[in-house]
Structure 1
Amino acid sequence: MDSQVLVVGGGPTGLTMACALAQRGIRVRVIDAAAGPATTSRALGLQPRGAEVLTRVKALGDLPERALPVQDITLHAGGTTIRVPVGEEVAPGQRATLVISQAEVEGQLRDRLAELNAKVEWGTRLVGYEQDAGAVTATVEVNGEKVELRSDWLVGCDGGHSAVRKLTGVNFPGNPLLQDVLLTDVRADWPLPRSGSTAWAGDGREVGVFPLPGGFWRFFTRLDGPSDDAYATAREVVTEFAKDRMDLPPESLRSIQWASIFRVQERLVDHYRFGRVFLAGDAAHLHSPTGGQGMNTGIGDAENLAWKLALVESGRAAQSLLDTYEAERRPVAQAVLGGTTAATKLLVGGTPLTALLRMVIVPLVQLRAFRKALFLRTSGLTITYRGGPLADRAGRKPAAGDRVPDIACAGGTTLQRIVAGGHWVMLNGADHLRQVAEEALGDVVAAQPARAGLTDAILVRPDGHVAWRGTSVTDLRDWLTSRLRLR
């Protein structure tokens, strides 16, 4: 075998997948059709859950120091201006949403991958694959020559135009949500707050402006029609915006770093697994950039599949465990797609109904309880796999399937730091419980809460979710054999 897992795509999803696998000792190979790493910003928001995942693969680095934390949102709608202090909803010890370029996130992940003695093979395009009961044979094109690569598994993390998805032939149903959207990063002298985003809605020219590190701004709006020259259109639209909204001359726009005109899609594949082939990230789901969910959802896909592939490759779990990847992650994508689609229509929709909804929503966002619920939804911290194939629906919080809060643990550390590196953790469990889990799973780290009060033992998955909760060795053994389908 050339590798145990062949990852197609060197973006955030593919890099997270590769790092999560490599740090568990899995031989991974990453290929990408592009000539080299992307330099444009593209996705911006690193949500708290996304930051947790990068922490667990030891790739967060100094991204929080280089990023801008989102503290507030200024909304101009219907002649009213309100400031929404979303930073107030961040609990002590919890991360805020970070504004950081996708290119910076990818760079940090590539550095981590290099530490794990792996790299992205650029200029390597997937042109075909075949699979049998034991492996996948991928045909790639490098410098005009075709080469066959053989691996146990193939994971398509190659974006919205995924070659893996197209070769698989899976249905990718959905609809265009917005036509002719301008996205551009500019350097400009604008008197707008750099503590968060500013948006104008409901007056025919909906605009979103977001501060970027380095003194840049991200500008987002819908155009009246198509254009063949994104940079010329960006200059015209942005200077018009500066004049109309802030009474600023054209000189306030100093430079355009990057511009793109595209169509916003909402799409979701019917299935994530096809034998030994999987889809993750934008290859499996596309949705509006509103709310900064795309990159984070893909990163979450990667982590979920990686620990399961590693367990199967170690010989400790049956291949049927891999079916739980789709069962757990597709509902997450469905929820994200529904939320981002609704938010986009609310911001840029021109129907009487959306105008009425804006009149209702604007007062609501000034209520702290509403803002907190909105923050938790977009942060990814409330994602749960309750009721899925690995967890029952009921139980005391955090119940099986729930994300475990990053509680303080004995020794001056926290639970998330202990989980970092892909460990299973037995929290508050007697040694005999940890030993039973270790016999089945391999390395299981023991941890004790810094504060008393937890009566049950909690087995924590490598992705920070509760695997099992209880006190009985028999119950733990039953869960390990029936839920994880261990050999």
Structure 2
Amino acid sequence: MTSDVNVLIVGAGPTGLAVACGLLAGGVSVRVLDKAQGPATTSRALGLQPRGTEVLEHLGALGDLAERSVPIERIAIHVGGSSAATLEVGRRTPLVTRPGLLVSQAEVEAALRVRLGQLGGTVEWGREVADITQDSEGVAVTTALPGAVGAPREKLRASWAVGCDGAHSRVRKLAGIGFPGVALIEHFLLADVHADLPIPRNEVAVWLRADRMLGAFPLPGDDLWRLMAPAERLQGATTGEEVVSALLAAWCEHTGLAAPAVRQVAWTSTFRVHRRLADSYRQGRILLAGDAAHIHSPLGGQGMNTGLGDAENLAWKLALVARGRADVALLDTYQDERRPVASEVLGSTSAMTRVVLGDSAPARLIRDGVFVPLLRRSLVQRLIWEQASQLKVGYRRGLLARSTHRRRYAVARRLRAGDRVPDLPCRRDDGTPTRLHAELDGRWVLLGRRTVTGPAADAAASRLGADLVTALEPLDPPPGAILLVRPDGHLAHHVDGADAADAKERLTTWIGRALQGGRK
């Protein structure tokens, strides 16, 4: 039985790959297993919200994805065949400074695999988990070839295991973690097709009619589109040809236009929409992230982004624990911070699904007479766009935030512990200009004047690891204060740096509490 790694990660989707990259950047060895025979080539999830893009940047995995994606500027909503509202989602706001991107999940995974390779990792394909056991020292994972009866099995040993293996997670089931929930829609139809649609390629178009819906999404490529609709009329329709035929019929019904000529079908799928949330994100030395922990409606484009947020939050905490720098209690703050985020996303996407699909006469009345007209208001559009961006996600009520005082500190906006810190322009010790979020990459950042960050930086490096701490000076430096920013870009703590010795002592005290899971 081998035990040459700290963490075994099951699942090589965006969440699993992001966890692996974060752990490797934090100095922790990993193995990534996936039962598939190789990387997926179909698009599946296709939306990167601004926060998802930011997470990839933190991990050093963004690369040229933004240039190869479709930037979405608006969502055009039609009701009963007529234009009803246009939701501007590409507009800059004080919070959101980059657009949402339409890009294939396969492309996101490819970018993460490139980064994984740069960090010295790889994916082991064709490795299905058959069993997991754990003891006080670690986990034992038994693997086998997928679907092969009597195939040789291998036992792997690690300190921790992370299940990122999707909605039907084998890891979750073997850990005995419940996954309660309900089905929201029996089936959805989806097809990625090469065709010429009379829609601008910086726009998502949605048609609503009674309790039916059709959506059209531009994908990277001159003529590639995704069509999606509920499958209420497709009893027994399962083949790709039947799916495309039904979606084209829905196109004619909703738009009043002739069916477009489809030159090529890239992918078709039918799927059920569920709302489920794991009872726990951790069972001993086994943790869950992404779809293994929560699934919900795809409307709103929150799924892949929520999984990336899980990965980033978990990776820096597990890295500190795996390296022996933090108590295992720090892992309790992972569920404490991320499960409420998933619960909120499940609630909002479920409500959106019910309203958008108008599953009852009262729901359709609210949708057509209240919800859609409200979308014409610029303030409502801004609030929806900022909420969907996930840049408002914060952890003020979490254990780590409660371990510090509540006083606010103003830097670019009013912040409290647990809030996301804006992407401030900074300079390194050698004077080189940079940005805060470009410097994270698995590291903690101390923001402040160099005259006060010196002793504080030494203290942070001694507790967190010298290789995990960077000191930067904001170009508009906060007067006499030091901000400690977590590797996921959230404010950990701030101290008055007027007295260097006092700032060092207070920062050291807070880090000590944080490494104990926020216990006072």
Distance in 2 of aligned mates of 1:71 and 1:99:
11
Shift of 1:87: 1.4
Aligned partner of 1:87 in structure 2 is 90
Deviation string 1:8-57 (CA, Å, 9 cap, x unpaired) is 00100000011111122211000001111111100010111111111111
Q: Is the Cα–Cα contact under 8 Å of residues 172 and 292 in structure 2 kept in the other structure?
A: yes
TM-superposed deviation, 1:380: 1.0
SS in 1 for 2:371: helix
> CA contact under 8 A between 1:21 and 1:310: conserved in structure 2?
yes
Indicate how the Cα distance of structure 1 residues 291 and 361 shifts in structure 2: closer, same or farther if over 3 A, else same.
same
**Does 1:474 pair with 2:497?**
no
Alpha-carbon distance, 1:453 to partner: 4.2
Deviations along 1:64-118, one digit per CA (max 9) or x if unpaired, are 0000111001000254432222212445982111000000000111111111221
Distance in 2 separating the partners of 1:350 and 1:326: 33
- Confirm or deny that 1:40 pairs with 2:57: no
User: What amino acid is the match of 2:250?
Assistant: F
Q: State the shift of 1:406 in Å.
A: 0.2
Shift of 1:228: 4.5
Alignment equivalent of 1:416, drawn from 422, 425, 437: 437
2:485 maps to 460
Given candidates 464, 467, 487, the residue that maps to 1:441 is 464
**Residue type of the alignment partner of 1:484:** L
How many pairs align?
A: 486
> Secondary structure of the residue that 2:235 maps to in structure 1?
coil
Counterparts of 1:167-316 in structure 2, within 5 Å, are 167-214=174-221, 215-224=223-232, 225-250=234-259, 252-316=261-325
Residue 402 of structure 1, CA deviation: 0.5
For each residue in 1:218-251, what CA deviation from the matched residue of structure 2 results, as whole angstroms up to 9, or x when unmatched?
1111112433424122222122134334455456
Cα distance in structure 2, aligned partners of 1:381 and 1:100: 19
Render the CA deviation track for 1:127-176: whole Å, top value 9, x for unaligned. Answer: 00111110101000037211000001000000001000111121111100
Letter paired with 1:449:
P
Q: How far is the alpha carbon of 1:334 from its aligned partner?
A: 0.5
- Alignment of 1:346 with 2:355, yes or no, is yes
- Given candidates 70, 76, 79, the residue that maps to 1:77 is 79
Question: In the alignment, which of 386, 389, 392 is matched to residue 376 of structure 1?
Answer: 386
Find the aligned partners of 1:388 and 1:355 in 2 and give their Cα distance. 38
Q: Say if 1:89 and 1:371 are closer, same or farther in 2 by CA, change over 3 A.
A: farther
SS of 1:334 mapped into structure 2: helix
Q: TM-score, normalised by structure 1?
A: 0.96
Percent same amino acid at aligned positions? 45
* 1:437 Cα offset (Å): 1.4
Number of the residue aligned with 1:427: 447
Amino acid at match of 2:18: T
Tell me if structure 1 keeps the 8 A contact 2:207–2:254: no
- Give the Cα separation in 2 of the matches to 1:89 and 1:54: 20
Q: Any unmatched runs of 5+ in structure 1?
A: none
Partners of 2:360 and 2:239 lie apart in 1 by 28
Structure 1 residues 362, 249: CA separation in 2 closer, same or farther (over 3 Å shift)? closer
Answer whether contact 2:211 2:360 (CA < 8 A) is retained: no
CA distance in 1, matches of 2:231, 2:47: 23
Alignment of 1:333 with 2:353, yes or no, is no
Give the deviation of 1:456 after TM superposition. Answer: 2.4
Deviations 1:253-275 (A, max 9, x none): 22221111111000000100111
Question: Which residue does 2:500 correspond to in 1?
Answer: none
Residue 133 of structure 2 contacts residue 139 of structure 2 at CA under 8 Å; is this kept in 1? yes
Pairing 1:100-139 to 2, within 5 Å after superposition: 100-139=103-142
More displaced 10-residue stretch of structure 1: 430-439 or 321-330: 430-439
- Residues of 1 paired with 2:106 and 2:93: CA distance? 26
Kept after mapping to 2: 8 A contact 1:230/1:261: no
* Range moving further from structure 2, 250-259 or 50-59: 250-259
TM-score (structure 2 length as normaliser): 0.90
**Aligned Cα RMSD in Å?**
1.8
Amino acid at match of 1:425: V
Other-structure match for 2:154: 147
Give the stretch that moved more between structures: 434-443 or 29-38. Answer: 434-443
- The structural deviation recorded for 1:183 is 1.4
Distance 1:480 1:184, change over 3 A: same
Distance in 2 (CA, whole Å) between partners of 1:479 and 1:333 is 28
Residues in 1 aligned to 2:307 and 2:357: alpha-carbon distance in whole angstroms: 25
Q: Measure, in 1, the Cα distance between the counterparts of 2:330 and 2:322.
A: 11
SS at match of 1:292: coil
Deviations 1:341-360 (A, max 9, x none): 11111111231221222121
Between the aligned partners of 1:342 and 1:394, the Cα distance in structure 2 is 33
Specify the SS of the correspondent of 1:210.
Answer: strand
Contact 2:14–2:307 (8 Å) recurs in 1: yes
Take 2:42 and 2:99, find their aligned partners in 1: how far apart are those partners?
Answer: 23
SS at match of 1:198: strand
Instruction: Work out whether residues 20 and 422 of structure 1, in 8 Å CA contact, stay in contact via their aligned partners in 2.
Output: yes
- Distance change >3 Å, CA 93–CA 206, structure 1 → 2: closer
- Asked if the contact 1:89/1:375 (under 8 Å) is kept, the reply is no
Gap runs ≥5 in structure 2 = 409-413, 497-502
Q: Is the 8 A contact 2:237 2:243 kept in 1?
A: no
> Any conservation in 1 of the 2:228–2:247 contact (CA below 8 Å)?
no
Partner SS, residue 54 of structure 1: helix
> Do the aligned partners of 1:202 and 1:347 also contact (CA within 8 Å) in 2?
no
